[in-house]
Amino acid sequence: MLSKNQIKFISGLHQKKQRIANQLFFAEGVKCIQELVQSNFELEHLYTIQDDFEEVIAANKTLISDSELKKISALTTPNSCLAIFKMPQEKAIIESGLIVALDSIRDPGNLGTILRLCDWFGIEQLICSKETVDIYNPKVVQATMGSITRVNVNYVDLNGFIAHVKLPVFGTFMDGENIYKCDLPQEGIIIMGNEANGISSELEQLVQNRLTIPRFGNLQKTESLNVATATAIILSEFRR
Amino acid sequence: MLSKNQIKFISGLHQKKQRIANQLFFAEGVKCIQELVQSNFELEHLYTIQDDFEEVIAANKTLISDSELKKISALTTPNSCLAIFKMPQEKAIIESGLIVALDSIRDPGNLGTILRLCDWFGIEQLICSKETVDIYNPKVVQATMGSITRVNVNYVDLNGFIAHVKLPVFGTFMDGENIYKCDLPQEGIIIMGNEANGISSELEQLVQNRLTIPRFGNLQKTESLNVATATAIILSEFRR
């Protein structure tokens, strides 16, 4: 049973402002919640319509109804459970190996998919500009499918960070070098740009290696690849 | 100005049943509509909040208000225009070159992204199983970004089609051959499986070449790649 105040509080966590003020975020669905519980994420409270979490002690869980879940869920079709977690402290940035850096990625689904790709391709560090969508946005948490527990994510002043980092800097442009013909190292920063505007012109000046994914379509009309699919192709090329 | 009946009719086109009964579908947004108008798609009617389509004759367009657009749009944040088009007749299947075949792809965003990838990588033919989401679903049309005008799409009994086609058949599995080490031809059919269940076991028996995208993560926990990002990596490998 949920009180009006509890519903108001949990619904508040749909907003970034409330998440930061309370240092809490939430996840939905058995699989995602289990991955978070089994990792270093500290469970604040679990709300579930069926008591199938043996690993969670009674004091930390509340049985709720379908209609209560609907009120607190961020999903059109709610799952069976929603759990609130403490936001972990940001860890130090790992300044070695391959790093993906995001310049103002706005779509939660894109950020979630890119985090999942980092996990698949063994990228330990994801750097986000301050303008990039919040990693604890419910739609991002949902799209990561648990990868959020395995990739280190930091929000930084991206221009300042890139200006001082001691790794080769790569960026994708329409007029770069054919990525299939480049020698790609096992260390470096790969910058992916905003969905509509690409990499900002300030940041572009700091890119040492301009890459292009060649287009094979006969009609030269295809405008661009989605940033998440472009990231998939680029990470595949770096790792193959 | 829209009548109640018009609003009801256009809203009906959100459903597949009504689209098929009327042989009509709709698209939203200036760019997408312009691409369709400039291609072989026959415009039935344009509804717009600002008259910025000089190429469309007055008889074929209606100026509407923001609130009217909201009533007929499939988008949470409607664009400035919505256009109804006649569904073109299915063209004959192009049985040569590289073909992508989809086995029960259910998510409209995934189908749209895959169509856009086909366009980018010069794949002329996309084959969908009958269980795959409708290509004229508004969310698919939106996600294709105009690629729907450049790739031939057919819905078939996929098992029957694959059983009789005279091209090598590829499929992606967890236990296939490392895709980075295979010789990949310029002709063939690449089957991508359902989001939750992969390629069906019946269809699996018809796959001659089992491929795998290797996983590089240290912790062997990452469960799978999203089908659209997997398609991106596979098409990139076939074309590079």
Per-residue pLDDT tens over the stretch B131-147: 999 999 999 998 887 88
B184 belongs to a structural domain: yes
Query: Residues with Cβ < 8 Å from A93, sequence gap 6 or more?
Result: A125, A127, A152, A154, A156, A161
Q: Please check the confidence at residue A220 and state whether its pLDDT lies above 80.
A: no
Q: Do B232 and A218 touch (CB under 8 A)?
A: no
The count of domains in chain B is 2
A113 belongs to a structural domain: yes
Query: Taking a C-beta distance cutoff of 8 angstroms, is the pair B46, B83 a contact?
Result: yes
Query: Taking a C-beta distance cutoff of 8 angstroms, is the pair B11, B82 a contact?
Result: no
Q: Are B225 and B195 within one domain? A: yes
pTM score, two decimals?
0.90
Q: Are A80 and A119 within one domain? A: no
Q: Are A16 and A124 within one domain? A: no
Is A145 an 8 Å CB contact of chain B? yes
Q: What is the mean pLDDT of residues A197-214?
A: 95
- What's the pLDDT tens digit per position in B83-133? 999 999 889 999 999 999 999 999 999 999 999 999 999 999 999 999 999
Maximum pairwise Cα distance, chain B: 62
Which of A86, A106, A125 finishes a domain? A86
Q: Please check the confidence at residue A19 and state whether its pLDDT lies above 70.
A: yes
B91 belongs to a structural domain: no
- What's the pLDDT tens digit per position in B180-234? 999 999 999 999 999 989 999 999 999 999 999 998 876 556 667 889 999 999 9
Chain B contacts of A119, Cβ < 8 Å?
217, 222
Identify any residues that bridge with A127 across adjacent strands, giving them in sequence order: A101, A154
- What's the pLDDT tens digit per position in B148-165? 888 999 999 999 999 999
Q: Are B134 and B231 within one domain? A: yes
Rounded Cα distance, A156 and A93, in Å: 10
Domain CATH code at residue A78: 3.30.1330.30
pLDDT at A31: 86
B80 belongs to a structural domain: yes
Q: Around B65, how many Cα atoms within 13 Å sit in the side-chain half-sphere? A: 5
pLDDT at B98: 97
Q: Are A106 and A38 within one domain? A: no
- The minimum CA-CA distance between A1 and chain B, rounded to whole Å, is 31
Q: Are A82 and A138 within one domain? A: no
Q: What is the mean pLDDT of residues B170-175?
A: 91
Chain B contacts of A122, Cβ < 8 Å?
215-218
Q: Do B229 and A232 touch (CB under 8 A)?
A: yes
Q: Are A49 and A106 within one domain? A: no
- What's the pLDDT tens digit per position in A120-165? 999 999 999 999 999 999 999 988 878 888 899 999 999 999 999 9
Query: Taking a C-beta distance cutoff of 8 angstroms, is the pair B136, B87 a contact?
Result: yes
Q: Are A144 and A207 within one domain? A: yes
Is B38 an 8 Å CB contact of chain A? no
A93 belongs to a structural domain: no
pLDDT at B57: 87
Is B226 an 8 Å CB contact of chain A? yes
Query: Taking a C-beta distance cutoff of 8 angstroms, is the pair A196, A82 a contact?
Result: no
Q: Are A235 and A119 within one domain? A: yes
Q: Are B37 and B16 within one domain? A: yes
Rounded Cα distance, A155 and A103, in Å: 11
pLDDT at B223: 65
pLDDT at A219: 55
B214 belongs to a structural domain: yes
- What's the pLDDT tens digit per position in B18-70? 999 999 999 999 988 988 988 879 999 999 998 778 888 888 999 999 999 99
pLDDT at B221: 65
B93 belongs to a structural domain: no
Q: Are B235 and B186 within one domain? A: yes
Rounded Cα distance, B213 and A43, in Å: 34
Chain B contacts of A212, Cβ < 8 Å?
none
pLDDT at B64: 95
Which of B53, B86, B119 finishes a domain? B86
pLDDT at A112: 94
Domain CATH code at residue B180: 3.40.1280.10
pLDDT at A95: 93
B164 belongs to a structural domain: yes
Per the structure, the complete domain to which residue A66 belongs is given by 4-86
A/B interface, count of CB pairs below 8 Å: 89
Is A34 an 8 Å CB contact of chain B? no
Q: Are A37 and A81 within one domain? A: yes
pLDDT at A223: 66
pLDDT at B220: 58
CB atoms within 10 A of CB A8: 12
pLDDT at B161: 97
Chain A contacts of B116, Cβ < 8 Å?
222, 225-226, 229
Is A23 an 8 Å CB contact of chain B? no
Rounded Cα distance, A223 and B108, in Å: 20
pLDDT at A11: 95
